[in-house]
Amino acid sequence: MGSGVTDTRRPGLRERKKQHTRETIERVALELFAERGYDETTLAEIAEAADVSPRTIFSYFQSKEDILFCTESGYVEEVREALQQRRAGATTVDALREFISSMPPPDEEAMLRKRVVAASPDLQLKLRAHIGLLESVLAESFAQDLGAGPDDVRPGLVAASMTAAFAAVRDRLEAAADMPEHSEVMEILDEVLEFMQGGLEAMRAR
């Protein structure tokens, strides 16, 4: 049995150095992508600017794409955790609303990432693929909401509709001449969630 004591020790020097190196590579890469263009920037140039070897980069990232979209996989896991730990009686939409409302405004690196992706149709397609990873996570959670069995197509349909809605909102915001305020973005997303909640409740009532 475990002791039940939570380990709150600060990460060691080695771990802190590794985290610093990873963050430096990510920041430098985003700056180069924004300045020179994603396709025009090489891993060798990123390594030189970050003062590390190309081999070191591969210790943290598999490719330029992995650097650019490194936050997306973490985001999927955060959503998965939020859905698994939702309060009793809360639906998937309830848990998503609470998760989204807790998100801080985008920082400088997030804005750089948006600029880089917005400048490349190919990267926009790849971002959609990353967003699509949410679909299976959402479908599993919606299946719980609906008491659905393995052959029930409804959870997958609702999950596909939600990821498509989020992707559409993201595309619209990134195409806007001026990025709306964070509060406005939250209001738009809340309207999407309200719409999805209505459809979910209608399914549950049948």
For range 76-95, the mean pLDDT: 91
Look up tokens 């997958």; give the residue.
156
Cα(206)–Cα(204) distance, integer angstroms:
6
* Cβ partners under 8 Å of residue 78, min gap 6: 99
The SS3 call for residue 41 is: coil
Q: Work out the pLDDT band at 83, boundaries 50, 70, 90.
A: very high
Question: Percent of the chain at pLDDT above 90?
Answer: 41
Query: Which of 93, 88, 62, 81 lies closest to 155, judged by CA?
Result: 93
For range 67-87, the mean pLDDT: 89
Write down the pTM of the prediction: 0.70
CA 18 to centroid of chain Cα atoms? 22
pLDDT in tens, 173-185: 666 656 667 677 7
Six-digit token pair at 102?
Answer: 């807790």
Q: What integer pLDDT is reported at residue 6 of this predicted model?
A: 46
Look up tokens 């090489």; give the residue.
42
Q: Work out the pLDDT band at 162, boundaries 50, 70, 90.
A: confident
Q: What integer pLDDT is reported at residue 2 of this predicted model?
A: 45
* Cβ partners under 8 Å of residue 38, min gap 6: 64, 68, 116, 119, 120, 123
Mean pLDDT of the chain, nearest integer: 85
For range 25-45, the mean pLDDT: 95
Cα(168)–Cα(58) distance, integer angstroms:
33
Domains and CATH numbers, the chain: 13-67 (1.10.10.60), 69-205 (1.10.357.10)
| Range ranked top by mean pLDDT from 48-52, 70-74, 177-181 | 48-52
Q: What integer pLDDT is reported at residue 191 of this predicted model?
A: 84
